[in-house]
Amino acid sequence: MKHINHIFWDLDHTLWDFDRNSDLTFFKILNKNTIKVDVSLFLKTYHPINRKYWELYRLNKVSKSHLRFYRLSDTFKELGVDVSDDLVNKLSIDYINHLSDFNYLIPNALTILEKFHLNYDMHIITNGFKEVQRKKLEKSGLSKYFKTITISEDVGFKKPSKEIFLQAVARANAIIENSVMIGDNFNADIIGAKSIGMKAIYYNFHKTKEHQLGGVLKINDLLELKDIL
C-alpha cells in the first residue's frame, strides 16, 4: 500500500483487548458487590446482549444511559437473578470506573505501533465513551503513539458516519488519499472509511466471514501489516 502518511486506528478489539479487560472487570465488580451469580455464565449471557445494545446505540436508537443500564438489567433477568435497579445503576458506574484497571492489549499491537510510529502519523477513531476511552489510552500507555484522538461522543457522530471520519481527517491535517483506516468492525470501520474514499484494512479479530468490498485488505494478525505498510 503506497503513499500512506497517516494511519487511523480503531481502539477496542483492534489494539485494546476489550473482551479480556471487560471480563476481568466484571469478575472484580460482581465480587465487590457480592452478587451471587456464576460469573462465567453471566459473561456468556451478557456479551450478545451488550453487542445488541451497542448496535442500537450506533444507530442512535438508544441513549448512553439506556445502554449502560439495560445491558446489565437484561442479563440478570435472562439469568433469573434478582437485582434491584439501584444496584444495577451502581454496577454500571463501577464497571465504567474499573474498566481501565485492566489493560491487556491485542497480540502484537505494541510491536506494530513501535514500528509504525517512526514512519507514520497515527490517530485513533473510536465510538466509545470519552471518559472511558481516554483512560484506556492513558493507563495502557498507548497515548504516546497517537497525534490525534477522535471520540464519537466528543464530535457528536459515530462510526460509520462520514462526519466522524471527515472530522478525524481534518483534526489530523491529513489527506484522505494518503490515509488508511485499520479496524475490526466491518460496518463501522471499513464501510465508514470507504464512504469518504479512505483506504481500509479489515482486522478480522472476530474471525467472521464478512462481505468484502473492493480495495479492502483483510488481516488475521496485526503482524501482517508489516507486509502491507
Q: Which three cell numbers stand for residue 174?
A: 491529513
pLDDT-derived band at 215, boundaries 50, 70, 90: low
Average pLDDT score over residue span 199-206: 93
- Answer yes or no: do 86 and 124 share one domain: no
CB atoms near residue 63 (< 10 Å)? 11
Whether the per-residue pLDDT at 196 is higher than 90: the answer is yes
52-61: pLDDT as tens digits: 999 999 889 9
- Answer yes or no: do 155 and 223 share one domain: yes
CA 98, CA 66: separation in Å to the nearest integer? 20
- Answer yes or no: do 96 and 110 share one domain: no
pLDDT-derived band at 211, boundaries 50, 70, 90: low
The number of residues making up the chain comes to 229
Residue 208 lies in a domain: yes
Model confidence, pTM: 0.93
- Answer yes or no: do 109 and 214 share one domain: yes
Whether the per-residue pLDDT at 115 is higher than 70: the answer is yes
pLDDT-derived band at 47, boundaries 50, 70, 90: very high
Q: Which three cell numbers stand for residue 190?
A: 471499513
Predicted local confidence at residue 201, as pLDDT: 96
CATH of the domain at 142: 3.40.50.1000
Residue 76 lies in a domain: yes
- Answer yes or no: do 31 and 143 share one domain: no
3-state secondary structure the chain: CCCCCEEEECCECCCECHHHHHHHHHHHHHHHCCCCCCHHHHHHHHHHHHHHHHHHHHCCCCCHHHHHHHHHHHHHHHHCCCCCHHHHHHHHHHHHHHHHHCCCECCCHHHHHHHHCCCCEEEEEECCCHHHHHHHHHHHCCHHHCCEEEEHHHHCCCCCCHHHHHHHHHHHCCCHHHEEEEECCHHHHHHHHHCCCCEEEEECCCCCCCCCCCCEEEECCHHHHHHCC
Residue that terminates a domain, selected from 46, 70, 101: 101
CATH of the domain at 30: 1.10.150.240
Whether the per-residue pLDDT at 214 is higher than 70: the answer is no
Predicted local confidence at residue 216, as pLDDT: 83
Whether the per-residue pLDDT at 7 is higher than 80: the answer is yes
What is the residue range of 203's domain? 6-17+105-227
- Answer yes or no: do 201 and 134 share one domain: yes
- Answer yes or no: do 38 and 76 share one domain: yes
Whether the per-residue pLDDT at 168 is higher than 70: the answer is yes
pLDDT-derived band at 29, boundaries 50, 70, 90: very high
Predicted local confidence at residue 212, as pLDDT: 65
Residue that terminates a domain, selected from 77, 101, 125: 101
b/e map 164-183, b = 16+ CB within 10 Å = bbbbbbeebebeeeebbbbb
Predicted local confidence at residue 210, as pLDDT: 62
- Answer yes or no: do 156 and 188 share one domain: yes
Predicted local confidence at residue 128, as pLDDT: 87
- Mean pLDDT (the chain) is 95
Whether the per-residue pLDDT at 177 is higher than 70: the answer is yes
Predicted local confidence at residue 71, as pLDDT: 98
Average pLDDT score over residue span 156-165: 96
Whether the per-residue pLDDT at 195 is higher than 70: the answer is yes
216-219 sheet: strands from edge to edge: 148-151, 121-126, 6-9, 179-183, 199-203, 216-219
Give the number of domains in the chain: 2
Residue that terminates a domain, selected from 101, 123, 148: 101
Predicted local confidence at residue 184, as pLDDT: 95
- Answer yes or no: do 122 and 217 share one domain: yes
CA 35, CA 95: separation in Å to the nearest integer? 14
- Answer yes or no: do 118 and 89 share one domain: no
- Answer yes or no: do 11 and 71 share one domain: no
Residue 1 lies in a domain: no
